[in-house]
Amino acid sequence: MMVLRMNELVTFFSGVIVACVILASFVEVQVVDAIHSVPGYFVLGDSTLDVGENNYLPNAYHANFPPYGETFFHRPTGRFSNGRNMGDFIAQALALPFAPPYLQPNATFYKGVNFASGGSGLLNTTNPGLAIPFNVQLEQYKNVSTLLVKELGVLSAHELISRSLFLISTGINDIIYGYLTSPTTQIRYNATQYIIPMLESYKSGIETLYASGARKIVLFGEGVAGCKPVVRVLNNSQCVNFLNKLAIEYEASLKHMVDEFNATIPDLHLVLAHGYNIEYDMITNPQSFGLKNATAGCCGAGVLNAQYQCGTKVPTNVTGIHQTLCKHPSEHLYWDLIHNTEYVDRVQLQYYWDGNASYVYPFNLRTLALV
């Protein structure tokens, strides 16, 4: 198996050493000194951060059925995980309650809100009608911002928003479902051309957030897109390297965008969590992270448990394929056909919270929280 590595990463072996330290003495991240610096958090993006938004959308992608949620919540919540996701771990690190989904009835948003919608993308052409796209999530956020001003007053609302963290994870669905599975799109655009409108959408979103008062924003890279189980199953269980090249180019472009924003807007603090880098290390040397399987989903059906979504019924006319669920999710990189296990998100947060610029750029989340 050949997997591409970003040029500016630290050496593979340094990543292994850090991983071993984490495995030996991992504890829940706590940032008591940052609690008063971060009064809330706001979340936009896709299923990697969705906490149940799609539960209120009848035609959307769903994860509100067993065995989703079994490890931590002991029930399905709408999270595309066996437990908590990255946003949840960041909330716990800041001693904040889990932010409710925007569409949840009677929810209060004084400590944050989650707009993330599983299946969404930066482009409106990605999974149309099946998720809330990024630009619509931004409109929802503006509604919340207006509401906070109305209920708290201008100064208090500005104080809340400017000190809160904004988490954004989006782009993987554009790359996989908007590009890989669309031969027409591949004919019209090469990889470089395709990510241009993605980046324009991202840039516009950051400008919108900044204009409404956001000052601390975290962008999450989209990982090793070409090695997700849902992609491998289309390529004889092997990674699709041209998709990894696209993921690398996309993440490098995000880094350039971070530099541009931070250089031109002094009071904006934009951080990039390198999703590709840490996932690459987990794929190439899973044992150092305590993982026994870095290719197949823990839950699902078919090849690599990626032909049918975890917990869904296999059609009666399909023979020899059954839903399976691993006994120890924490030994798997992937929970289902594309999403991390809770354990993996927890380990990755350690890198983002206290790691160096090879994993989170230009500084880590602990530093951002204290700005």
- Catalytic residue, candidates 46, 47, 81, 345: 47
- Catalytic residue, candidates 88, 339, 345, 358: 339
Task: Give the CA angle between residues 84, 205, 39 to the nearest 5°.
Answer: 50
Q: Which residues pair with 43 in a beta bridge?
A: 114, 167
Report the DSSP pairing between strands 293-297 and 299-301. Answer: unpaired
Q: Which residues pair with 113 in a beta bridge?
A: 42
Alpha carbon dihedral 68, 117, 213, 32, in 10-degree steps, equals 10
Rounded to the nearest 5°, which phi and psi values hold at 295? -125, -40
Catalytic residue flag (residue 164): no
Distance (Å, whole) CA 36 – CA 40: 10
Catalytic residue flag (residue 267): no
Q: Residue 209: which of 140, 298, 278, 301 has the closest Cα?
A: 140
Give the distance from CA 206 to its chain's centroid: 17
> Cis before residue 362, ω within 30 degrees of 0?
yes
Distance (Å, whole) CA 78 – CA 50: 7
Handedness of CA 129, 132, 135, 139 (dihedral sign): positive
Distance (Å, whole) CA 139 – CA 123: 15
Length of the chain (residues)? 371
**In Å, how far are 105, 260, 262 from 266, measured between CA atoms?**
38, 11, 6
Q: Residue 223: which of 351, 135, 92, 328 has the closest Cα?
A: 351
Q: Kindly calculate the radius of gyration of the chain based on its CA atoms and give it in whole angstroms.
A: 19
Catalytic residue flag (residue 256): no
Query: CB of 181 within 8 A of CB of 114?
Result: no
- Catalytic residue, candidates 46, 88, 336, 345: 336
Handedness of CA 53, 55, 58, 61 (dihedral sign): positive
Query: CB of 89 within 8 A of CB of 19?
Result: no
**In Å, how far are 23, 283, 359 from 287, measured between CA atoms?**
10, 9, 19
Positions marked catalytic: 47, 336, 339
